[in-house]
Chain A
Amino acid sequence: MNNRIRAVSRRTFLGGAMAGAGTIAMPSLVRSQDAYPSETFRVVIPTRQGGGAERIARAFDAAWSQLLGQPFEYEFFPGAAGQIGYEVFVKQREHNGHNLLFGNMGPEMIMYATQKPDYKFPEDYIYFCRTDVDDSCVFVRKDSEFQDIQQVVDAAKQRALNVAVSRIPHPASIGILALGEQTGGTFNLVPYQGGNPTQVAVLNGEADIGTLPIAGILQLGDQFRVLTVFNKENIFAEQTNNAPPVNEVFGTTIPDLYSSRSWAVHTNWADENPDKFQKLVDTSKQVFEDPKFLEAYEKTGAPVEVIKYGDRETCTEYALSMVEFAQRYAEILSAEKG
């Protein structure tokens, strides 16, 4: 009896296993040919959890996941100024449209230009949906001796000022270097590997000033004062005590320097699947009209004025301009000298 039971169960098991495998495989085959998206999106974020990128990505997916009908899962690879995240995305993630990257184009393209990693832009990945334009700013703690940017530059002409920065390869770092170059001040960049530790360095007074994208600073508004922005116009004049744009004060010609996060996907997948890629593009654009996104973003305490859509062309143009900037300041931005 035992033998019979065993024989039957073995047969049943094999039959069941084959049927089960068929059941699992068939719909996925059908799904993979027809429906998109058919599974959870896995998102690589090349910065630390709890940072600005995660804040925007999660607010964005509150609306986008409903439009696409699939949830999002996040993985964080903050090391080597984001290089790890990009390498993992390009080399280790399947190029199937369900693997996305959400990065901060400015610093990460500067890293791309200075570190010369083993992947190519835009051959390996493309940015297709810019979510924000977050102007770089110079800020001090509330009780700082510096009341305005003029005082900062005057002091920088007397002694090298310590500037807390998130990373050396960053648009805000380029901004302060350009300011020093054009006004004769000396700024010594001290990298703190992330926006949060950079804010702490200014708060605890070990750095004289800090330079970061403005949204994170306004989020902790009570504790800091913004002195200037690296843009033609300060759209947060009211919240920043009318801090003037840097070129307006010094008559300098520093270009607009801002951080812009964007969604990215593998280039070859986008080229081979134009319809599916178009679905990503269309739905991501729709998100900007969806109140769920703005509500979710507003809840984080960051200013919604930074939210600005940009298409693939805008993103590519911005990304390549960052490479150009990085090459201009290559000697200061990288460990390789002369």
Chain B
Amino acid sequence: MGWDGALFVELIGNSFQLLWVIVPAVLFGIVIGALPGFSASNTLIILLPLTLTMDLDVALAFMASVYASSHLGGGIPAILVNMPGDGGSVPTTFDGYPMTLQGKGQQALVLCFVASTIGGLITSLATVALLPYLAPLGLYLRSVEMVVVMVFGLVLIAAIASDDLLKGLIGGFFGLMLGLIGADHIYSTPRGTFGFLELYDGVPIVAALIGLFAIAETFSMVEREAIVPKSETDIARPRWADTIDGLRINLKYWWQTIWTAFLGMLIGIVPGAGATIASFVAYQQSRMFSKTPHLYGTGHPPGIIAPESANNGVTSGTLVPLMAIGVPGGATSAVMMVVLQYQGIVLGPRLFIETPALAYGVFFYMTMSYAVMLLMILPLARYMSKVVNMPTRIIVPLIITLTIIGAFANREYIFDMWLALIFAVLGYLALRTGYHVTGLLIGILLGPLFEQYLLRSLRLGQGDLTILFSSTLANILWVLVVLSLLLPWLRTRQTQRALERAGDTARSGL
């Protein structure tokens, strides 16, 4: 395997020597991630002519840092202005934005930063230690197992719908219906596109999340003077004490950070799966194992920690199949593959024997970028959180401009700008009428992936539905799905009974 102490020391030395590229790349990545529509993969494609001319180590350090930090950046607008930078940051809005509205935006940012960086840090270190063993792990999660993983995400619709089941389910199924728009997964025949070429590839996720979340929220923001209600502005005033408070909460949920990061890493290893799936599944799992599932969605810290830690766990996971079997795990690793191939690097198992410094190096650079990120970003939470005190007459036009540009920038279609506005109206109407836009968005985000894995599985089963229960791993996952539906319900019932019992005791005491 070519792995020894000298190599370890050499790679640590290299990582320090490359700090000159890692630091600016981290800053750049955070900005890219925070701007909706500007994903790491799109940016790296644009910058490819530049990276192809760099030394391989420099190029890899640059790309790994941009990629990792963009995942952290996405959480910032999600928390402060309900504007997720990408699909992976959507679950962060569920509890992040409510915390901001309660005047705890700074703590929420600290939760996001620490969970992201620690999650990313430990998984990239774990990848270095376990790389040859991790690669085959991704091969265990096949189409059938991925159907169940998708169901974990879709189950969230039911959880969100628990307040008003009918409205929640209507939203979720409407989202799933919208998710069916686009070319079918078997014959590539366009469906439900109304003749719009722009919809052949499905409903564009960026336009949907910008419209449903960010712009729809601005419509309701204009009804007040600042993002945070006046009664909470004193609490929202930035203080170092709040940063420390955020760290304290992080420490309290340290185990949550670790296991969701590994969950993200595992999902990242599966080629084709990514940060969106990981963050939704992590949020859903965190809620399932929680003793207080009813607090999720109200500004509960684990609701930020779980998705952020998971979507940063994905970053190292997604590079595993690229390095170990030569198949890119996602769009960003596909760009990295182009650079590696351009430099004549043959990917796959031989890489670890022939050039171990390169195979492991990328994970060392990623680890270094997470360490840099933590040091750089944590003190900034105090200043970033000031955004919420800005008058809405300034922040609202700013958000609308940025998001509309973001809707365009992702695919460079004017159509997407209009679509974002249509989704914004839909989102605003949903807010006003008590429908939850999250259910709708989960349908749009996970629906097409669910359909893809389901149709593939059914085709593999040659029409036999029992294929969905044909593997031990899938069956274990199915049991967990059922548990994840039952556990929160049982816990809530238990709490209600305890309250009733306490009430009875109090009455009999009187």
Contacts and interface: CB of A to CB of B under 8 A. Distances in A.
Interface in A200-241: 200-201, 203-207, 219-220, 222-223
Given A206-B142, A333-B187, A335-B186, A71 B344 contact: no
B323 to A, nearest CB: 13
A83 B197 CA distance: 9
B289 to A, nearest CB: 29
B223 to A, nearest CB: 39
B350 interface: yes
Interface stretch (B16-24, B235-243, B329-337): B329-337
A49 interface: yes
B201 A54 contact: no
B488 interface: no
B499 interface: no
Given A49-B45, A54-B338, A188-B459, A219 B185 contact: no
A301 interface: yes
B189 A79 contact: no
Interface residues of A, number: 58
Nearest to A191: B186
Contacts of B251: none
A207 B334 CA distance: 23
A300 B201 CA distance: 29
Contact of B327 (A167, A189, A199, A334): A199
Nearest to B471: A206
Q: Which 7 A-B pairs have the closest CB atoms?
A: A50-B334, A79-B201, A299-B344, A81-B188, A80-B183, A204-B139, A335-B187
Interface string B297-331: 00000000000000000000000010001111001
Nearest to A169: B188
Interface stretch (A84-92, A122-130, A308-316): A84-92
A334 B349 CA distance: 38
A106 B59 CA distance: 34
A201 B139 CA distance: 9
A205 B138 CA distance: 12
A296 interface: yes
B142 A114 contact: no
B342 interface: yes
A223 B334 CA distance: 19
B462 interface: yes
Contact of B341 (A83, A162, A196, A299): A299
Nearest to A190: B459
A243 interface: no
A44 B333 CA distance: 20
Given A50-B337, A191-B186, A334-B187, A203 B325 contact: yes
Question: Which of A48, A168, A200 is most buried by chain B, counting CB atoms within 10 A of its CB?
Answer: A200
B189 A334 contact: yes
A223 B462 contact: no
Contacts of B5: none
Contacts of A79: 182-183, 200-202
Interface of B: 41, 45, 48-49, 139-140, 142-144, 182-190, 197, 200-202, 271-272, 321, 325-328, 331, 333-335, 337-338, 341-344, 346-350, 452, 456, 459-460, 462
Nearest to A72: B49
A335 B272 contact: no
17 contacts: A50-B334, A54-B338, A55-B338, A74-B45, A79-B202, A80-B201, A162-B462, A167-B188, A190-B459, A204-B142, A205-B142, A222-B350, A223-B325, A298-B344, A301-B346, A301-B347, A336-B189
A299 B343 CA distance: 7
B331 A49 contact: yes
A201 B146 CA distance: 13
A15 interface: no
A296 B335 contact: no
B169 to A, nearest CB: 29
Given A49-B335, A58-B342, A220 B197 contact: no
Interface in A41-68: 48-51, 54-55, 58
Contacts of A197: 271-272, 327
B326 A220 contact: yes
Contact of A335 (B45, B189, B459): B189
Interface string A169-196: 1000000000000000000111111001
Interface of A: 48-51, 54-55, 58, 71, 73-74, 76-81, 83-84, 87-88, 91, 111, 114-115, 160, 162, 167-169, 188-193, 196-197, 199-201, 203-207, 219-220, 222-223, 296, 298-301, 333-336
A84 B331 contact: no
A84 B185 contact: no
A299 B342 contact: yes
A207 B460 contact: yes
Question: Which of B41, B200, B202 is most buried by chain A, counting CB atoms within 10 A of its CB?
Answer: B200
Nearest to A204: B139
A196 B189 CA distance: 21
Contacts of B272: 197
B188 A111 contact: yes
B321 A200 contact: yes
A196 B333 CA distance: 12
A160 B461 CA distance: 10
A220 B325 contact: yes
Contacts of B201: 77-80, 84
Contacts of A87: 197, 200
Nearest to A74: B45
B460 A80 contact: no
A223 B348 contact: yes
Contacts of B187: 114, 168-169, 333-335
Question: Which of A160, A300, A334, A335 is most buried by chain B, counting CB atoms within 10 A of its CB?
Answer: A300
A168 B187 CA distance: 6
A336 B184 CA distance: 12
A97 B335 CA distance: 27
Given A80-B189, A199-B327, 6 more contacts: A80-B190, A83-B183, A87-B197, A115-B189, A160-B462, A188-B462
A80 B188 contact: yes
Contacts of A192: 456
Contact of A83 (B41, B200, B333, B348): B200
Contacts of B45: 49, 74, 76
Contacts of B197: 84, 87-88, 91
B456 A190 contact: yes
A81 B183 contact: yes
Contacts of B188: 80-81, 83, 111, 115, 167-169
A48 to B, nearest CB: 7
B450 to A, nearest CB: 15
B346 A335 contact: no
B200 A196 contact: no
B365 to A, nearest CB: 20
